Structure 1
Amino acid sequence: MNINSIFLFFFLLIVKMTAQEITGHVFDAKTKEPIAGVTLYYDGSTIGAITDLEGNFTIKSQYQNNAVLVVRHLGYETRKIQDAGNQGILKIALKEQVQSLNEIVVTSDPFSRKQKMKVFTLEFLGDTKGGRNSEIVNKKDIKLYFNSYNNTLSAYSDVPIIIANEYLGYRIYFEIEEFKIYFKTQSLDRIDNIHQTLYDGSTQFFDTANGDPKILKRRSNAYLGSSMHFMRACWYGNLTDQNFKLKKKFRDLQLSEFYTVQKDTVRDMKAIRFVGDNYIIYHKRKGKSVYRSTLNINEPDSVHTLDRFGNYKPFQSLVFGGYMANFRIGEMLPMDYGL
């Protein structure tokens, strides 16, 4: 075996060890018949597949990850599978979605659909360049309701919300699970009136940039200083090299004062333990201002699993504020961006 053959052998071996591939079969839970055309994807990514006529699928990822696998098909309940890459060949049964009439709640809603849609769009897409240059394709499918008793605007949709983001070059499908805007008063004013905006759901990205250099530059700008950028820097342990600075009570922190690595669970994932509960994060771009964010950890000293993509779990325990919290759907990048 010559030197080139030896190099190729070890290169392919490394790729096989690093990459993650999952295969499986999707079928009707009642009839046991295979279901063709089922959409499967890692939540928040462009990585996915569609089942063939026999209900089979294969999904390949460049790196191992701990993202949730979403399984969606019209007429069936959406399923979310944790740790899909560690379960061997997946056998996924889908239950038919039971159609029911929407519950009628008798209460006053003082605002028109147009007024509610305006504030929903700004809070959902974001009042940023990406948000203002994005469009919700199927607004008619979104149901909006303002509860006058607790000054809360809620949004619902029976089908995924489709977003055309021309600014970052993505078409996004967002399957909404919860969306609520909590106002301080019975008003839709956003300035000094929104107490909190909560939204949760699964997101699938499709790249529409076609290599446009202007769009690729915008993506790079959206990435720098984002929570994704920060968490990836945590995985690599190079916060300083990525121009991040940590502070706690006005004191600069070393990386070892922020978290410790418990162990490498697999090649692309690490188990880390955060030392404290709240931090200030600064990010400086070359020739630009310093951006300030906050990070509150609801479960201090607990162990989190962090992968190379920047995904972490349990994700509910990390709450970003400040600059990073301004990122909404219009500035969101898929988890596999840049890898």
Structure 2
Amino acid sequence: MKLFFSISFFCVSILLFSQNKIQGKVVDENNNPMVGVSLFLDGTTIGFLTDETGNFYFEKSVLPQSVLVVGYLGYETQRIQNYSSSFLSIKLSPSITQLREVIVSKPYFTRKQMMSAFKDHFLGKTKAGRSCFIENESAIQLDYDGSKNQLNAHSDSKLVIINKHLGYKLVFELQDFNLKFSKKSISNQYVKSSFFAGTSFFTDLTNNKAEITNKNRIKSYLGSYNHLFKNLVEKKWDKKSFLLFEGSFVTDPNLQFKVDKIANLYTITVLNNKLKAIQNSKIGFFNSFNILYNNREQSKINFKINEFQVDEFGNFFPVDKIEFSGDISEKRVGDMLPIDYIPY
């Protein structure tokens, strides 16, 4: 079975900037300053609140430019993707509660069955994924579309996930989740593909054994797509790390990828010969490779485009144009680390 996994965090606008200020003001629909509004950089541990005048200010020398998420109870969340050191004026509007259409029909599967499948493919089945606990699991709404053989999930509330294995509390706003099956089933053996998208904010848990937690974080990082792409831009390939294969044969990555660096951002061009391009186009990919990590973990990567970008932390963009299968795809939210994570 080939399971293709695609993950899209709305944060992953991976350009880096070297400015040292993020500042601005948040007001309501009547231009009144809003106190205690939450702001955070998506996918990171970097967050702050507005003061009594509605102003915010944060200083950081170098950090990933992820989406700036602005939220307050009773107001629509704003996601600001392009911002600079100039002053940001942000106006929040009251949220409008929309009732979802409820279709009463005989369910194909029980909530317990659907929740088990959701957790397997959202949190993951690794040790880290299994250790996660969703505090507000009841907020997750699940339905199975029998016409598409697809499990869907959404939540009107942000999910609060406790990950003791990695020592994080993760607040995740689930925007989309679907799990497609080859037949009307909820069994993992019939899964064709999985996809989820959302925004996330990390905070460190207290009372954790730092040494053990750090080892667990490094273990989750090693063999991940961040590790793979960081090695790609640094041109680090060997048997103890990653090897690239065309089919069953080891291939030279320098003949398959062209790496150009501008500041802290890399542009990767996926090269291709004419015959292989014709073959891949028939299955909807520009190119595909097999990957071996640490001489034992086997994965496959499919490129739907011939050019993408990578930052110095190994985050890539656009995230919906690269698909993974095999061991690398087993790491989900349970193994997820802040996008500015640096293994020590």
Task: Normalising by structure 2, report the TM-score.
Answer: 0.83
Structure 1 pair 241/309, CA: closer, same or farther in 2 (3 Å)? farther
* Equivalent runs, 1:51-200 vs 2, <5 Å: 51-84=50-83, 86=84, 88-190=86-188, 192-200=189-197
Partner Cα distance (1:279, 1:50) in 2: 44
Q: 1:32 to 1:213 in 2, by over 3 A?
A: same
Cα-Cα RMSD: 2.3
Q: Is the 8 A contact 1:263 1:271 kept in 2?
A: yes
Contact 1:47 1:61 in 2 (8 A): no
Correspondence for 2:205: 208
1:291 aligns with 2:276: no
Change in CA separation of 1:21 and 1:271 when aligned onto 2, cut-off 3 Å: farther
Q: 1:243 to 1:60 in 2, by over 3 A?
A: farther
- CA deviations on 1:46-74 (whole Å, 9 max, x unpaired) are 12222222222233445343422222222
1:211 deviates by 5.0
Q: Which has the higher contact order (CA 8 A, sep 6+)?
A: 2
Instruction: Name 1:43's counterpart in structure 2.
Output: 42
Deviates more, 1:238-247 or 1:305-314: 238-247
- CA offset digits 1:128-181 (Å, max 9, x no partner): 101111111001111111222222221111111111111111111110010111
CA distance in 2, matches of 1:290, 1:18: 39
Distance in 2 (alpha carbons) for counterparts of 1:323 and 1:61: 35
Q: Match of 1:228? A: 226
Aligned equivalents of 1:321, 1:126: Cα separation in 2: 13
CA contact (8 A) 1:20 1:64 kept: no
Q: Distance in 1 between matches of 2:70 and 2:271?
A: 36
Contact 1:182-1:196 at 8 Å conserved across structures: yes
Question: 2:37 and 2:239 mapped to 1: Cα distance?
Answer: 42
| Percent identity for Structure 1 against Structure 2 | 32
Partner of 1:221: helix, strand, or coil?
helix
C-alpha deviation, 1:87, in angstroms: 6.0
Measure the CA separation in 2 of the matches of 1:75 and 1:271.
40
Q: Which residue of 1 aligns with 2:3?
A: none
Q: SS at 2:233's partner residue?
A: helix
Provide the C-alpha distance between the structure 1 equivalents of 2:237 and 2:88, rounded to a whole number of angstroms: 37
Gapped runs of 5+ residues in structure 1?
Answer: 1-16
Question: What is the alpha-carbon distance in structure 2 between the residues aligned to residue 258 and residue 41 of structure 1?
Answer: 37
- Which residue pairs with 1:330 in the alignment? 334
Asked if structure 1 preserves the Cα contact closer than 8 Å seen for 2:169 and 2:204, the reply is: yes
Judge conservation of contact 1:65–1:308 (CA < 8 Å) in 2.
no
Number of residue pairs aligned between Structure 1 and Structure 2:
312
Q: TM-score, normalised by structure 1?
A: 0.84
The 8 Å contact of residues 177 and 200 in structure 1, kept in 2 or not, is answered as yes
Report the secondary structure of 2:228's partner residue: helix
SS in 1 for 2:179: strand
How far is 1:118 from its partner? 2.2
Aligned counterpart for 1:219 among listed residues 200, 217, 221? 217
Deviation larger for 48-57 or 200-209: 48-57
Q: Deviations over 1:258-287 (max 9, x none)?
A: 3223341x3x22233222421222211xxx
Amino acid at match of 1:79: Q
**Range with bigger deviation, 130-139 or 239-248:** 239-248
1:199-254 superposed Cα distances (whole Å, 9 cap, x missing partner): 11111111116452112111111111111111222333334497221122334333
- Counterpart-to-counterpart distance in 2, 1:83 and 1:232: 24
**For the residues of structure 1 that align with 2:25 and 2:161, how far apart are their CA atoms?**
29
The reply on whether 1:23 has 2:23 as its aligned counterpart is: yes
Q: Secondary structure at the match of 1:245?
A: strand
2:234 and 2:191 map into 1 onto residues whose CA distance is 36
Is the contact between residue 233 and residue 259 of structure 2 (CA under 8 Å) also seen in structure 1? Answer: no
